[in-house]
Structure 1
Amino acid sequence: MDAAAPSDAQGRSHASADAGWAQARREALAAGAAALAARFDAGVDATRLAAERARAVDAVVAEAWQRCVPQESALSLFAVGGYGRGGLFPHSDIDLLVLAAREPDGAAEAVLARFFALLWDAGLPASHAVRTPAQCTAAAADISVMTALIEARPLVADAAARAALARAIAPDRAWPARDFFVAKVQEQARRHARFGDTSDNLEPNLKEGPGGLRDLQTLGWIARRAFGTHELEPLVALGHVGADESAALEREGQALARLRYGLHLVAGRAEERLRFDHQKALAERLGFADDARNLGVEQMMQGFYRSAAVVRRIGDRLHQRFEEHFDGAAEPEAVDARFELRRGYLAARDHGWPHGDIGEVFELFATWARLGELRGLHTHTARALAEALDDLAPYTAATAAQREAFLGLLRGPAPVRSLERMARLGVLGRWIPAFAQVSGRMQFDLFHVYTVDQHTLAVLRNLAGFASGEEDARFSRAHEVWPGLRKPELLLLAGLFHDIAKGRGGDHSELGAVDARAFCEAHGLGEADTALVEWLVLRHLLMSVTAQKQDIADPAVIHRFATEVADRERLDYLYLLTCADIAGTSPKLWNAWKDRLLADLRDATRLALRRGLEHPVAAAERIAETREAAATLLEASGIGAADAAALLERFPAHSFLRARAEQIAWQARALHGAGGDDPGLAVVKARLVAAGSPAMEVFVHGADRDGLFAAIVVTLDRLGLAIQQARALDGPGRTVFDSFQVLPGDARADADPQVVARKLGAVLAGPLDRVRPAQRTQPRHLRHFRIAPQVEFATSADGSATVLSLVCTDRPGLLADVAHVLRSQGLRVHDARIATFGARAEDVFRVTGEDKQPLGGEASARLREALLARIDGEELK
């Protein structure tokens, strides 16, 4: 470059002029962005607005280049990456390539530094690279760099520069078309894996997530490299893309672009993840309003999930066609008279398939199930199925033979895999229209982390795991119960329908039960089978609510539950459905404690049903049975009968009513190991609930002291342990028998029971009034799901205590704060049941005053005021 370096005076002159120019352009760009935002709010297509913004930025960039770079320089300017595609969202990156005919010298570096500084001053923080053509070829070895370069769009570049860049990344120098295709497909698979291979996340990524804009861009990149076209539409004439597919991708691309454009505006930055922080505001900006059935935000999110599903389905088909373009069509391998395999994909042999007959579609899925895992459906068959969907009969208009074919899938091999495949390809929603209504339907809370349809499929997958016969450490009894089912397909139907009425208004269990009965009757199921499926859908929450919100150690609770269940067959079906449902709601929701809780409820109910509901178990009988069983266990462990009896005599009678014999024997051995009968001797023990499980049981026995319960709860919280259940029982001689079921609450939690017991014991050995709850900031996601606190009081059934019910937003340290308030009010805690449903905490405490009597009106009012002050104060942080 021959241009002389500017003098100091020239530099000052340039700086002054540049500052004024940059300020004017910054203001112009801001005004233009505001005008575009107003047009967006008026409903103008987002892709059009993004193109207009790119053109506005083009003009500023080109003008800045002309101000800084002499025409005779050997430098050219290209837009690359997303900017190269000619579309800029409100806060998208601006990526530039400076193509240098030769390695830039000092003078060239100086003018480029001025150019990029000028862009920054104008409000365009551009990312850039300066390369020669040879350096472009070398850098293109990285697939991401290559992807950016193939979208290069000249901003200030003559024909020679354009040709030089094209030669530098030509297929004979970098990434032949087939290699590029393979690399991009692998890259997409890795990217999808980062998001759990699903778009149905609560906070999906509009750009990078499965079915997002990046998937559409990937199809465009492959088309450009393989066929030299910038769009998919020209591939319609070549037979690689159907006209309907091209139109669908265009439609869904516009829908995704509108979401992304609006998200940038709402967030005020380049945000690609649709976080809770922005979902409601974006829904309002896009014009979604709450109605009687669905929140506006839920309607918006359902639209996204459905768009992403379409992009994935069509993208899979196009990838397969591109593969055949590069590798050629494989020789078909006949399966039977109707179907064949092509390169591992299942295909219909008849080009007219499925002839509008859903029975033929069911036959395809039955063949697929019989063959096991394949690569998928052949692209031509998948497209034929998609085109035929609207002509396929729903079950209400189907023939008896078609309905029987569907039942055959449920009774055949891998029924859940068949249901998953049908759901993904739109067949299940066509056969059962109610399922189509919940496809992509999200619930704006933290309890349900999947859309309704994906939750349903997760429940069905859990049921398939039970059917496999393989033991799963997460479920202690399910694999044993499944083989005893009379007709497993009835449980699959219950799982399919249990949430199918979500979002209609009214009780989804009741509405779903009506749907289930209609479906079963239409398919010719007998009354007994129909009634079972109907009852399971109607009462699918019964076991979960009973186990988590009631005291299943109470014989009266078991008797009421057993009366509702009525027989052992219903019990086993309901048990398996409940396990699958809870575990399919959220990966974090199922744990060893809930597994044991449900197993205990099933065992106790089976015993009650075996005895006969006309012979309910009395408390005295239960106490005697448990005491005897615990004594037997102690003697089996080497403790003499007299010593075992003496140990058990130290336990309060309610222990034998509320705990299992095995728990009491473990606690008694802890007392025996501590030595002596000193009631003031503190004993702290902890153990894992099951091998390989993080769930832990903590037992504390010692002299009753003011603030003991609060100190234990606060210490466990400080150790990172979340309490699931707490029981505080008064023993003889003013002693306490406190037990806690805990789970790791975060990564800092102590997982070693011995460490937990040692640390807790050390705290309890000191003054309890120094034990204070830890101060924490509220997690980001909880701020958007605030639940107005509810505090209610009732007198226990036996009249001996007050039952405190608390409903509020869950958060780390909540129980520790509540326990601290109870202590400050001078109350004694005798029992606590902790239930958390997403962001909602529903906790129940059995308390008395210092006189061990129920609370009076004034004491209850003071407690309510103190709890609300503490909870509200924390939630506002």
Structure 2
Amino acid sequence: MATLAPELKERLKLDRASAISAYDSHRNPDRLTTELRQCVDRILTAAWRELAMPDDSALVAVGGYGRGELFPYSDVDVLILLPAAPDGTAKERLEALVQLLWDLGLEIGHSIRTVDECLTESAADITVQTSLLESRLVCGSRKLFTQLQDRFFAAMDAQEFFQAKTLEMQQRHAKYEDTPYSLEPNCKESPGGLRDLQVILWIAKAAGLGDSWRKLAARGLITPLEARQLARQERTIKDIRVRLHLHAGRREDRLVFDVQTPLALSFGFANTESRRASEFLMQRYYWAAKAVTQLNTILVQNIEGQLFPQPACPLAINQRFNEVNGLIDIAHDNVFETTPSAMLEIFLLMQQHRELRGMTARAMRALWHARTRINAAFRRDPANRALFLRILQEPEGILHALRRMNGLSVLGRYLPNFRKIVGQMQHDLFHVYTVDQHILMVVRNVRRFTMPEHAHEYPFCSQLMANFERPWVLYVAALFHDIAKGRGGDHSLLGMSDAQRFCRDHGMSTEDTELVVFLVQHHLAMSHVAQKQDLSDPAVIREFATLVKDERHLTALYLLTVADIRGTSPKVWNAWKGKLLEDLFRMTLRALGGEAPSAARELRSRQNEALRTLRLYGLPEGAHERLWNQLDTAYFLRHDASDIAWQTRMLYTRVDADQPIVKCRLAPIGEGLQVTVYVKDQPDLFLRICAYFERKNFSILDAKIHTTRNGYALDTFLVTEPAFANSYRDIITLIEHELAEALLHPEVPPPPRKGRLSRLSRSFPVSPTVDLRPDERGQYHLLSISAGDRNGLLYSVASVLAKYRVNLHAAKVMTLGERVEDVFLVDGPVLQHARSQIQLERELLDALQA
């Protein structure tokens, strides 16, 4: 055996290389997987014969290898089938065989069993049963293999197998969030992947209905056209999986960002001005996965009907549709041909009849094949336009209707521009959904504002929505707000034109049309103002109030903005951003109500509220005055009343403290810690504070920098660290002590480290930008930076600012997924000279580079 293993291994290597080399020319994944399987068959047969394995035993391929296909780096699962328990001599031969198989370098999964043991294991484990379902004789005793097959299928309970595999499929889908549209899908396990196709063939074979798409079509479970579609989509996904294996050089089924571009290039896709090559590849995958998902639903339902026949007792809903066992069915096969508007009516009826659980396979199939009849004439028909609006205006079932319409390609046919963004990726690193799924998620979020059972999630949004007339208008705006993504140009302006045309064509009122167009055009404006501009500046509020014009526009924009941010990624939204938006809403509402934005009025309001809080804590009358006399208007406008009261309680007796004072508390809004530093102002203070937080791996979400009249820095930071999510309270004392010590005994800050970029940022790098310009009054400069996020980024920026003696007065630090967008209010002599300002900007760009 010592010489046998190298010889067989080399032969296998050459055969595999030849098959893979041929694939480069024919690009047929079925041919490659068959040839790779045949390579292994020949080697295993040679090994079996060279070791003179007993004639009454058999080597059986199981699992995917048994199915007859082998991907470049897939496991090779084999069963060594014995007529009886092995004796000593047989055990030695078996050990030699298994050792040889491993020596060949194959990823072998093996089991050694008798027929009785196979049946016992199969009855106890659905995975073993599934594996044996696809068993295939490689070499050895055909008689023994036939005995296994006969007894296995005789013991098969097709109904029980169906229930087990469909439950397993539901659990797998839940693991992948029940969507084929993940930005990094698993082409084998995700919904719409190869596993869904395998499940169909497993349950069909177990039920004796066939083991190929052609045979299922012959049994009437699918049409010949559907069989061809399934075969085509299966070939597409197999091709992607083959290339994944070859690119990775190992078993890899995840289409992670790192591999999408090289795979796209291998398919011949190229970058264009508006889209990446990887976007074309992923859209092809998503369309294939979507078709698989739809046909999978039809097939599972048809097979279930064969295995669990139920008497059909149609209950007429109207002349076109019936209810059959809780599902909506068509009254006759050509309903959609004779009445095309029924393609929209079916969704409306499902909204109106909540007892309906879905569509019958017959109805889905008919609708799927009739969808191409939704053309320009269909879209111009006033009856169809009225039906579509009614779907959006129904009190219930709106999101389910839109999702079903998207799944069956009806929505994209009715809204051609929506069809263009189905399966389209977004490479801004904070969207975790394709564009169409993000849009539907935003519709979902707006819809939830209307539902009492979800009022606890966003009470303020639910309160506003309860008084909002015609909330369905917001659903229209949500449908169009990102519909122009990927076309090139400003998607807000392009989408605005689409929305305006839709509203006009569907007879919406002038008032509602104007609101929808406004929302689509300005759907990013509120988050931009709240997160990047100084809300304590009355001019900012006045300008935003001029933009929104009235309370209805303001309310609609606020609701859409919250729904939009929440619909990008669970990681993007946090309570701090929510508070910024709500503060902007309330300030703007007062301005729209005739109350001119006034810094003096806002200052008095916050001071009075802070004093009320201080009285509750028993502070003596006038105790605050010594500290407050050292604080200017900017401090009171940039801090909440609760912050003012908290800091006053800490500092009113220590206004002239010699030692640094560091105080922490749990963040009053959201997660994290609020850290206040009070110390005599000193050079590089912001840098040293950032250095401390960088060492502790804390992320700085917000920073308020202030210098008192008596020369003290009063700085407040909002910091988070996921590792301490459940124990922030436990580390408060530690941070207070360590940071105070670091400020009391300053050391030369270490040079910034180039923190490692995340995998996503490496795959889709963000080009750093630096924008430095004076504010309207010319008193300060606004420094805006954008870059890919990494550890120590803010510390790197602080190091450059310290080097140029730039003073920091305020900071807004915003993280959007893998990208940061920070805004700083700064001043300093260096900013008064164009040459030194340019040099500062260059060094900042260098600091932002990964």
Taking structure 1 as the reference length, the TM-score comes to 0.91
> Do structure 1's residue 654 and structure 2's residue 631 form an aligned pair?
no
What secondary structure does 2:41 align onto? Answer: helix
Of stretches 90-99 and 463-472 in structure 1, the one that deviates more from structure 2 is 463-472
Q: Please name the residue that 2:825 is paired with.
A: 846
1:291-349: CA deviation from partner (whole Å, max 9, x where unpaired): 23321100110111111111111111111111111111244362633444333322233
Q: Please name the residue that 2:557 is paired with.
A: 574
1:614-644: CA deviation from partner (whole Å, max 9, x where unpaired): x4x3444443443344334434554344224
1:23-59: CA deviation from partner (whole Å, max 9, x where unpaired): 53144234314423422xxx53211221122112211
Which one of 102, 114, 133 corresponds to residue 84 of structure 2? 102
CA spacing shift, 1:871–1:409, aligned 2, 3 Å: closer
Identity of matched residues, %: 36
Which one of 356, 360, 367 corresponds to residue 378 of structure 1? 360
2:655 counterpart letter in structure 1: D
Which one of 9, 15, 20 corresponds to residue 29 of structure 1? 15
Q: Please name the residue that 2:584 is paired with.
A: 601
Q: CA offset at residue 519 of structure 1?
A: 0.7
What secondary structure does 1:77 align onto? Answer: strand
Q: Please name the residue that 1:6 is paired with.
A: none
Of stretches 192-201 and 832-841 in structure 1, the one that deviates more from structure 2 is 832-841
Q: CA offset at residue 420 of structure 1?
A: 2.1
> Do structure 1's residue 699 and structure 2's residue 679 form an aligned pair?
no
Aligned 8 A contact 2:772 2:841 in 1: no
- 1:536 and 1:25 map into 2 onto residues whose CA distance is 66
- 1:816 and 1:701 map into 2 onto residues whose CA distance is 20
Q: CA offset at residue 867 of structure 1?
A: 3.8
Q: CA offset at residue 477 of structure 1?
A: 1.7
- 2:728 and 2:612 map into 1 onto residues whose CA distance is 29
1:481-506: CA deviation from partner (whole Å, max 9, x where unpaired): 11121211110000001111111122
CA spacing shift, 1:350–1:228, aligned 2, 3 Å: closer
What secondary structure does 2:288 align onto? Answer: helix
- 2:675 and 2:246 map into 1 onto residues whose CA distance is 50
1:139-169: CA deviation from partner (whole Å, max 9, x where unpaired): 2121111111111111103331222211342
CA spacing shift, 1:171–1:719, aligned 2, 3 Å: farther
CA spacing shift, 1:786–1:775, aligned 2, 3 Å: closer
- 1:171 and 1:705 map into 2 onto residues whose CA distance is 85
> Do structure 1's residue 762 and structure 2's residue 744 form an aligned pair?
no
CA spacing shift, 1:336–1:230, aligned 2, 3 Å: closer
- 2:165 and 2:821 map into 1 onto residues whose CA distance is 48
Which one of 259, 268, 271 corresponds to residue 252 of structure 2? 271
Q: CA offset at residue 648 of structure 1?
A: 2.9
> Do structure 1's residue 134 and structure 2's residue 116 form an aligned pair?
yes
> Do structure 1's residue 630 and structure 2's residue 606 form an aligned pair?
no
> Do structure 1's residue 429 and structure 2's residue 412 form an aligned pair?
yes
- 2:661 and 2:6 map into 1 onto residues whose CA distance is 77
What secondary structure does 2:452 align onto? Answer: coil
Aligned 8 A contact 1:195 1:209 in 2: yes
- 1:476 and 1:709 map into 2 onto residues whose CA distance is 37
Q: Please name the residue that 1:359 is paired with.
A: 341
Aligned 8 A contact 1:77 1:98 in 2: yes
CA spacing shift, 1:348–1:768, aligned 2, 3 Å: farther
Q: Please name the residue that 2:714 is paired with.
A: 737
- 1:783 and 1:663 map into 2 onto residues whose CA distance is 39
Taking structure 2 as the reference length, the TM-score comes to 0.94
What secondary structure does 1:699 align onto? Answer: strand
1:67 counterpart letter in structure 2: E
CA spacing shift, 1:397–1:201, aligned 2, 3 Å: closer
Q: Please name the residue that 1:349 is paired with.
A: 331
Q: Please name the residue that 2:704 is paired with.
A: 727
What is the root-mean-square deviation of aligned Cα atoms in Å?
2.5
Which one of 720, 728, 750 corresponds to residue 752 of structure 1? 728
Aligned 8 A contact 1:729 1:737 in 2: yes
The unaligned stretches of length 5 or more in structure 1 are 1-13
Which one of 759, 762, 772 corresponds to residue 780 of structure 1? 759
CA spacing shift, 1:355–1:869, aligned 2, 3 Å: closer
Aligned 8 A contact 1:724 1:835 in 2: yes
Aligned 8 A contact 1:554 1:658 in 2: no
- 2:335 and 2:657 map into 1 onto residues whose CA distance is 81
- 1:299 and 1:353 map into 2 onto residues whose CA distance is 36
What secondary structure does 2:815 align onto? Answer: strand
Which one of 538, 541, 547 corresponds to residue 521 of structure 2? 538
- 1:422 and 1:788 map into 2 onto residues whose CA distance is 38
CA spacing shift, 1:775–1:520, aligned 2, 3 Å: closer
What secondary structure does 2:191 align onto? Answer: coil
What secondary structure does 1:328 align onto? Answer: coil
- 1:650 and 1:332 map into 2 onto residues whose CA distance is 83
1:380 counterpart letter in structure 2: R
1:422-481: CA deviation from partner (whole Å, max 9, x where unpaired): 222222112111111111111234222100110001001101111113455553521111
> Do structure 1's residue 442 and structure 2's residue 418 form an aligned pair?
no
> Do structure 1's residue 311 and structure 2's residue 288 form an aligned pair?
no
Q: CA offset at residue 696 of structure 1?
A: 4.3
Q: Give the 5 Å matches for 1:813-852.
A: 813-849=792-828
CA spacing shift, 1:354–1:26, aligned 2, 3 Å: closer
Q: CA offset at residue 235 of structure 1?
A: 2.1
What secondary structure does 1:486 align onto? Answer: coil
What secondary structure does 1:684 align onto? Answer: strand
2:211 counterpart letter in structure 1: H
Q: CA offset at residue 171 of structure 1?
A: 4.1
> Do structure 1's residue 408 and structure 2's residue 385 form an aligned pair?
no
Of stretches 285-294 and 458-467 in structure 1, the one that deviates more from structure 2 is 285-294
1:506 counterpart letter in structure 2: G
The unaligned stretches of length 5 or more in structure 2 are none
What secondary structure does 1:643 align onto? Answer: coil
- 1:27 and 1:595 map into 2 onto residues whose CA distance is 59
Aligned 8 A contact 1:627 1:648 in 2: no
1:723 counterpart letter in structure 2: I
- 1:95 and 1:178 map into 2 onto residues whose CA distance is 26
- 1:473 and 1:729 map into 2 onto residues whose CA distance is 36
Of stretches 274-283 and 833-842 in structure 1, the one that deviates more from structure 2 is 833-842
Q: Please name the residue that 1:201 is paired with.
A: 182
- 1:135 and 1:825 map into 2 onto residues whose CA distance is 78
Q: CA offset at residue 776 of structure 1?
A: 5.0
Q: CA offset at residue 689 of structure 1?
A: 4.7
Aligned 8 A contact 1:357 1:392 in 2: no
Aligned 8 A contact 1:719 1:749 in 2: no
Aligned 8 A contact 1:491 1:533 in 2: yes
- 1:157 and 1:201 map into 2 onto residues whose CA distance is 45
- 1:661 and 1:56 map into 2 onto residues whose CA distance is 75
1:163-199: CA deviation from partner (whole Å, max 9, x where unpaired): 2211342342xx4111111000001111111111112
1:209-263: CA deviation from partner (whole Å, max 9, x where unpaired): 1110000001010111001522132122322222222121111101101111111
What secondary structure does 2:335 align onto? Answer: coil
Which one of 293, 308, 311 corresponds to residue 327 of structure 1? 308
Aligned 8 A contact 1:435 1:453 in 2: yes
What secondary structure does 2:489 align onto? Answer: coil
Aligned 8 A contact 1:76 1:156 in 2: yes
- 2:355 and 2:644 map into 1 onto residues whose CA distance is 49
CA spacing shift, 1:25–1:113, aligned 2, 3 Å: farther
> Do structure 1's residue 76 and structure 2's residue 58 form an aligned pair?
yes
Q: Please name the residue that 2:164 is paired with.
A: 183
CA spacing shift, 1:452–1:179, aligned 2, 3 Å: same
Of stretches 571-580 and 502-511 in structure 1, the one that deviates more from structure 2 is 502-511
1:567-612: CA deviation from partner (whole Å, max 9, x where unpaired): 1111000000000001101111111011111101111111111126
> Do structure 1's residue 162 and structure 2's residue 139 form an aligned pair?
no
- 1:689 and 1:580 map into 2 onto residues whose CA distance is 24
- 1:395 and 1:632 map into 2 onto residues whose CA distance is 67
Q: Please name the residue that 2:210 is paired with.
A: 229
CA spacing shift, 1:591–1:791, aligned 2, 3 Å: same
- 2:643 and 2:316 map into 1 onto residues whose CA distance is 58
- 1:662 and 1:715 map into 2 onto residues whose CA distance is 26
What secondary structure does 1:208 align onto? Answer: coil
> Do structure 1's residue 798 and structure 2's residue 781 form an aligned pair?
no
Aligned 8 A contact 1:750 1:756 in 2: no
> Do structure 1's residue 462 and structure 2's residue 462 form an aligned pair?
no
